[in-house]
Chain A
Amino acid sequence: MAEVEKIISNALNEGRQNLLGTEARELISTWEIPVPRSIQIKGVEDLKLKAGMISPPFVLKVISRDIMHKTEVGGVITGLRDENDVKNAFIRMKKDIEVNVPQARIEGFLLEEFIPGGVEVIIGGMKDPQFGPVVMFGIGGILVELMKDVSFRLAPLNQREAIEMMGEIKGYSFLTGYRGSKPVDIEQLASTIMKLSDIISNVKEIKEIEINPLFAYEGGVIAVDTRVVLEKGSEKTNEI
């Protein structure tokens, strides 16, 4: 928990209301929510030293306090098979970001192992002004906004409630195995929801947290992307 406090106070001291992707992933790792293996790099020069620590294929992501939705500005490039691919991706990403969001400050880059797609779900937590901490579960990852197939519970919640909220989703059958696909690990998923409930209930500085997508498989789950918004923050961020 000391780590978490450090991450949060650091961000607040810098006047940030959003945690960096790397900070958010570190935070959820404290609760033992699995994340893809990754390395953080400053630029191409770092690559030689570190690339051997993880195995391809890779995904390259930008780390920036000014960019909330990386994909939309060219801040995520997937399908990189080797160092050469990564170098080219670097060049492309820097250029795209320069064009799309010239004002964005870039802290560095994240090179992570590509995660084969499971069932995409979203798990969110937020503080409601009247009811306090609330947890959301939804299906569809990128489709969630379109489908609005989500359910809510007040936090903290127990396993029965976590399983119930999954059952309320129209797309529940995607979790239990659909047209020959393997059922996902419902217990792991429930436990991840409970961990998120734990985070939003106990970390008072967090206003909103969201793992989207969370991939769910037969054998477990992995948090592909995490966003954390803090309660306070003097600086007005340029949300993109």
Chain B
Amino acid sequence: MNTGNNMEFFFDPKSIAIVGASPKPGKASHVILENLKKIGYNGTIYPINPKYRHIGDLQCYRSLADIGDQIDVAVFVLPASKVIDILKGPVNNVRGAIIISSGFKEAEKGKWLEEELRDIVEKKGIRVIGPNCLGIYDAISRIDTFLVPTERVKRPKKGGLSILTQSGSFAVLIMDEMATEGIGIARIVSYGNKVDVDEADCLSFLSEDEATRYVLLYIESVENGREFVDMASRCTAKKPVIAIKVGKGEAGLHAARSHTGAMGGKYEIYRAAFKKAGIIEVDGYEGLKDACKVLDAYDMVHGKKVLIITDGGGIGVSMADACEELGLEVKRLTDDSRKSLSSRLPAFSATDNPIDLTASATDDSYFAAIEEGFLNGYDIAIVTVLWGPPTLTAGVVDRINEVMNSYNKPVIICSPGGEFTRKMGKLFEEKGMPVFLTPEAAVRAAAVLTGNGTRLN
């Protein structure tokens, strides 16, 4: 297997060939061609199809060999057996292939085709993403080989999140969702059956990639476990890596009637691997969205001390409980802090942790409470803003933002409520402060920033 890091060219190709290009709208190869143009790919595009002379305004070639130039990436959108035929032929000018085609290992009849494919590309030294994948969406170098039309699936703006996924449909879903949430993407790799490029290769690349601030992994299975753990560890040393593992219910490991074997479904071993590598594991799709949202806004913190501030008692207590469940520390304020705070807060405020500003809360009382917490070593503040108190104005957004910036520690806003609340929530988001609509989501987000996952033990 081609391991190592010689796959950078996938993310900065000078030329892309589309093998099996078609002028017919609705054909996958046509969608890919259009998407490459739309995203503004500025290398050379070579459509390949012996049936056509031109596709749109591009010259169409009979075969890969007919192109005199070196091709950095050849995208294959052809039946599996044809892909093999072409690669077996006189092809010696291709560095990398993205094989979108299905009908390989995932299909009963395609198993031997995949073996043959592996042999051919190994012999020819061609690196391969796929087969049975969507390939690459890259907002940095502007590459889009995803065969879904942009009218149906929105492309996210440029940002710091890179996604590695076995599942193409997950890639499509998360892309659309992130676009809607306003979260920016750096690179997405949908690598499908992993005949060559696997998660370890991609993690190795992303660990060195300056455009990637944090990584999201969607894992069904990992074949080379130790290599994965090594590469993931290298990556987590530099940036947060979040993982979602699906297929948890796999049967036990060993036929032998031992407890050790019977206790561990395969999933427990994955969890152990994630822990070894410092990967943050999130549970389910909601946890994933919360994690992306908070990592998009803030960097990780080094401690686990959380200050909870509310203007409604009940919600604070439920958050304190949730914090403890996820391994966060909700320590009481010192007596000195409490004394100093009570002179700055409304008369009946509870200066415990959670700090309850009560319905007399003002813009300034939020400022005072957060400041006191950050001065006293709390790492994160989870701040609930319920808009009931008439003394509270839109100015609270600026006050919270001000204190957050001057102490350079993250403030997570929890603001459950209806129409008015959501409108005010937008003001926070404009300032770059993520808003969560439930106490649980806010706490999950805080846990992610401390490096804890949202999986309960």
Q: How far is the CB of A171 from chain B (nearest CB, A)?
A: 12
Q: Which of A33-41, A79-87, A118-126, A187-195 contacts B (4 or more CB under 8 A)?
A: A118-126
By the criterion CB–CB under 8 Å, are A208 and B254 in contact? yes
Which residues of chain B come closer than 8 Å to A144, judged between CB atoms? 259, 263
Is B1 engaged at the interface, CB distance under 8 Å to the other chain? no
Binds A, one of B96-104, B217-225, B285-293: B217-225
Q: Which of B223, B257, B260 contacts A130 (CB 8 A)?
A: B223
Tell me which of B86-94, B146-154, B267-275 binds A. B267-275
A130 to B226 Cα, complex, angstroms? 7
Report whether A138 and B263 are in contact in the complex, using a CB–CB cutoff of 8 Å: yes
Specify which chain A residues have a CB less than 8 angstroms from the CB of B254 in the assembled complex. 126, 208
B interface: dominant SS: helix
Contact across chains for B257 and A208 when beta carbons are under 8 A apart: no
Instruction: Say yes or no: B226 contacts A153, CB within 8 Å.
Output: no
Interface membership of B246, Cβ < 8 A: no
B344 within 8 A of A: no
**Complex: chain A residue closest to B221, CB-CB:** A130
- In the assembled complex, which residues on chain A have CB atoms less than 8 Å from the CB atom of B253? 126, 128
Say yes or no: A122 contacts B259, CB within 8 Å.
yes
Contact B225 A138 (CB under 8 A): no
Which chain B residue shows the least CB distance to A136? B260
Contact B229 A229 (CB under 8 A): no
Interface size of B by CB at 8 A reads 26
What's the dominant secondary structure at chain A's contact region?
strand
Q: Is A96 positioned at the interface, with any CB of B under 8 Å from its CB? A: no
With A and B bound together, what is the CA distance between A236 and B256 in angstroms?
12
Docked pose: A177 CA to B264 CA in angstroms: 27
Given contacts A128-B253, A130-B223, A134-B264, contact A154 B273 (CB under 8 A): yes
How far apart sit A210 and B226, CA to CA, in the bound complex (Å)? 23
Partner of A153, one of B262, B263, B276: B276
Chain B: CB-nearest residue to A138: B263
User: Once the chains bind, are A208 and B260 in contact (CB under 8 Å)?
Assistant: yes
Q: Which residues of A contact B261 (CB under 8 A)?
A: 126, 208
Q: How far is the CA of A125 from the CA of B263 in the complex (A)?
A: 12
Residues of A within 8 A of B225 (CB): 128, 130-132
Min Cβ gap A180→B in Å is 25
How far in angstroms is the closest Cβ of chain B from A34? 20
Q: Specify the chain B residue showing the minimal Cβ separation from A144.
A: B259
Nearest chain B residue, comparing its CB with the CB of A211: B260
| A137-174 contact mask (Cβ, 8 Å, vs B): 1 or 0 | 01000001100101111100000010000001010000
| CB <8 Å contact, B259 and A212 | yes
Task: Tell me if A134 and B269 are in contact (CB < 8 A).
Answer: yes
Interface string of B237-281 (1 = CB under 8 A from A): 000000000000000011011111111100011011101100000
- A136-B224 contact, Cβ under 8 Å, with A128-B253, A229-B256: no
- Asked if A69 meets B257 with Cβ closer than 8 Å, knowing A130-B224, A131-B226, A154-B276, the reply is yes
A222 touches B (CB below 8 Å): no
CB distance from B453 to the nearest CB of A (A): 12
Interface residue tally on A, bucketed by range: 20 to 34
Asked whether A208 and B258 contact (CB < 8 A) given A128-B269, A148-B263, the answer is yes
Expressed in whole angstroms, the Cα–Cα distance for A209 and B260 within the complex equals 8
Is there a chain B Cβ closer than 8 Å to A227's Cβ? yes
Give the complex CA separation of A73 and B263 in angstroms. 23
State whether B263 touches A227 (Cβ < 8 A).
no
A239 CB-CB contact with B under 8 Å: yes
The answer to whether A68 has its CB under 8 Å from any CB of chain B is: yes
Q: Kindly supply a per-residue 1/0 record for chain B positions 200-236, scoring 1 wherever the CB is within 8 Å of any chain A CB and 0 otherwise.
A: 0000000000000000000001111110010000000
In the bound assembly, the distance between CA atoms of A66 and B332 in angstroms comes to 59
- A136 in complex: contacting residue of B221, B264, B457, CB < 8 Å: B264
A152 and B271 within 8 A (CB): yes
Q: How far is the CA of A128 from the CA of B269 in the complex (A)?
A: 8
The answer to whether B257 touches A210 (Cβ under 8 A) is no
Q: A134-B269, A136-B264, A153-B276 are in contact. Are A168 and B259 (CB under 8 A)?
A: no
**Closest beta carbon of chain B to A70's beta carbon, Å:** 13
Please judge, given known A-B contacts A128-B269, A131-B273, whether A151 and B257 are in contact too, CB under 8 Å: no
| Chain B nearest CB, measured from A232 CB (Å) | 13
Please give me the residue from chain B that is nearest to A17 by CB atom: B256
For the complex, what is the distance from the CA of A212 to the CA of B257, rounded to whole Å? 13
* Contact B258 A130, beta carbon cutoff 8 Å: no
Contact between B260 and A125 (Cβ–Cβ < 8 Å)? yes
A168 to B229, CA, bound (A): 21
Task: Return B224 CB to nearest CB of chain A, in Å.
Answer: 7
**Residues on B with beta carbons closer than 8 Å to the beta carbon of A170:** 457
Given B224, B226, B258, B268, which contacts A227 in the complex, CB threshold below 8 Å?
B258
- State how many angstroms separate the Cβ of B233 from the closest Cβ of chain A: 11
Closest chain A residue to B229, Cβ basis: A154
Alpha-carbon separation in the docked complex, A227 to B225 (Å): 26
Partner of B262, one of A125, A145, A152: A145
Q: Determine the residue in chain A with the shortest Cβ distance to B272.
A: A152
C-alpha spacing A136/B265, complex, angstroms: 12
The distance in angstroms between the C-alpha atoms of A91 and B354, with both chains bound, is 68
> Nearest Cβ in chain B — how far from A176, in angstroms?
16
In contact, B260 and A126 (Cβ under 8 angstroms): yes
Task: Pick the 7 closest A-B CB pairs, nearest first.
Answer: A124-B260, A131-B225, A130-B225, A152-B272, A168-B457, A154-B276, A150-B263
Given contacts A207-B256, A239-B257, 14 further A-B contacts (CB under 8 A): A122-B260, A130-B221, A131-B229, A132-B225, A134-B264, A134-B269, A145-B263, A148-B263, A150-B263, A150-B264, A153-B272, A161-B275, A209-B260, A210-B260
